[in-house]
Chains A and B, each alone.
Chain A
């Protein structure tokens, strides 16, 4: 099993990780679509290796208020997975899911709405991870969802620190999805530990 250095990945390794992101996000979007019983389109995911400085810019700036749902991963792949949405997207999804769509609520989420958001995160992450598990033929178990609503930079610091242990860049898989009326932006971030990176790549023959 080869050691992986994020700063010196070759194109082949990068492509494989990109494909993992594609498949995972595709499954996650399908799960979301079924959950809210509405057609959801997904754009081709973007996979970027970003410097920490640039990280929070992609979600609209470090001070942008977002919902982040984090899972810790165990089993044959260790690490973290995060699902992040801006407040508008979260509000939209919650409204669709709990049926208060026509009496559009704004402001803070109620307890039930927070719970619904957690569940959205749970199902999406589950779909993402099960496709990754099938693809690599490795066992992955995830924790319960941990949610935080805060500045994007502050929330992203948690996965960024994990990336910080293995390099000076973070691998981010960004997927935009939405229904007919309204675009909903979501970001999936998969953060395997350095050993798990190697394990994922070697399970796929690299």
Chain B
């Protein structure tokens, strides 16, 4: 591995093997990794909200499931990835606080996961692995060299997907 490229909240980035991508402390946000296994090109987007059309202030494309995944694909294609080869791995979408009432504000993690899956399905990108939901934060690292998504959480064993 050469360099570990950080993806912040409501941010996206791309890399080519042997570089790797990481996003730290995912909570209710969803970390979506797209990967072209033949060219070893990967992209990661840190999605905060499900739907850009429901929000007035939507300049930052990486913030939303719908526009974020589109923007990520454009960036990946621009550096040589093949749109048709892309596969996805997703993680995050936890419910960090055990709210008693079940209104929409509280279910944001689930809604982010649903919206991400819906968008990927619409685009015909298959989801090879996921580690979503539950109530704990995740740090994720993606290595395009191997296609492995590493997931770290507090007080838990590391997971590889």
**Interface positions of A (Cβ within 8 A of B):** 5, 7, 51-56, 61-63, 65, 68, 70, 72, 144, 146-158, 160-162, 164-168
**Distance between Cα atoms of A7 and B27 in the complex (Å):** 24
Q: Which residues of B contact A166 (CB under 8 A)?
A: 56-57
**Interface positions of B (Cβ within 8 A of A):** 8-11, 24-29, 48-49, 55-57, 59-60, 63, 94, 96-100, 105, 108, 135-139, 154
Q: Which residues of B contact A56 (CB under 8 A)?
A: 9, 24-25
Q: Is the CB of B9 within 8 A of A53?
A: yes
**Distance between Cα atoms of A167 and B98 in the complex (Å):** 26
- For chain B, what secondary structure do more than half of its interface residues adopt (helix, strand, loop), or is it mixed? loop
**Distance between Cα atoms of A150 and B96 in the complex (Å):** 9
Minimal beta-carbon separation of B107 from chain A (angstroms): 11
Q: Is the CB of A158 within 8 A of B97?
A: yes
**Distance between Cα atoms of A151 and B25 in the complex (Å):** 6
Q: Which residues of B contact A54 (CB under 8 A)?
A: 8
Q: Is the CB of A148 within 8 A of B55?
A: no
Q: Is the CB of B136 within 8 A of A168?
A: no
- Which of A65, A154, A165, A167 meets B26, CB within 8 Å? A154
Q: Which residues of B contact A162 (CB under 8 A)?
A: 105
Q: Is the CB of A154 within 8 A of B60?
A: no
Q: Is the CB of B97 within 8 A of A148?
A: yes
**Distance between Cα atoms of A147 and B137 in the complex (Å):** 14
Q: Which residues of B contact A149 (CB under 8 A)?
A: 154
**Which of chain B's residues has its CB closest to A150's CB?**
B137
Minimal beta-carbon separation of A194 from chain B (angstroms): 8
**Distance between Cα atoms of A132 and B96 in the complex (Å):** 26
Q: Which of B98, B135, B154 has the most CB of A within 10 A?
A: B154
- Which of B63, B108, B139 meets A168, CB within 8 Å? B63
**Distance between Cα atoms of A46 and B99 in the complex (Å):** 29
Minimal beta-carbon separation of A63 from chain B (angstroms): 5
- Which of B48, B94, B136 meets A160, CB within 8 Å? B48
Q: Is the CB of A62 within 8 A of B57?
A: no
Q: Is the CB of B27 within 8 A of A155?
A: yes
Q: Which residues of A contact B97 (CB under 8 A)?
A: 68, 70, 146-148, 158
Q: Which residues of A contact B25 (CB under 8 A)?
A: 56, 62-63, 151-157
**Which of chain B's residues has its CB closest to A64's CB?**
B25
**Distance between Cα atoms of A149 and B154 in the complex (Å):** 9
- Which of A55, A151, A161 meets B108, CB within 8 Å? A161
Q: Is the CB of B57 within 8 A of A157?
A: no
Q: Which residues of B contact A168 (CB under 8 A)?
A: 10, 57, 59-60, 63
